[in-house]
Amino acid sequence: MRGQSHAGRALLDVRRLAAIDMYGRHGSTRRRRLILAEFVLAAIDVPLLGLAMFLAASSALPALLGAYLIGVGLNYVPLALHAISMSRASRLDAELADVDVPAELKQHAARQPFIGIPMLVLVLGTAQVAVR
């Protein structure tokens, strides 16, 4: 899977981030399923944990941590939706047909921390779907 790299694209292409994470180095079915499960579970469990912490908080720090977890967990919603749409190998392969996967993997680690910025991936993912 070689071709165009991420150059010239948005700072964070949420669909591409999900695709590269699902594909990994070799594009195995096992990895695709594990990443799909990770995204779906994180989209559900992390916001619920944050909500529980927020509601049970008796001071500002636990409430802020709960709110942070809600925002970070919501970042997994567009990743999970993209992963579901690319869960079949043929769809993932089509998504990465013109991509230099090894080059993208090198940049992948630099893009991962964006998931830790509450609501950023959710907002970017929503905006990118609206433009497509």
State which H helix or E strand residue 19 sits in. helix 14-23
pLDDT in tens, 61-85: 999 999 999 999 999 999 999 999 9
Report helix, strand or coil for 76: helix
Whether the model pTM is above 0.75: yes
R_g over Cα of the chain: 16
pLDDT in tens, 2-58: 444 444 456 799 999 999 999 999 999 999 999 999 999 999 999 999 999 999 999
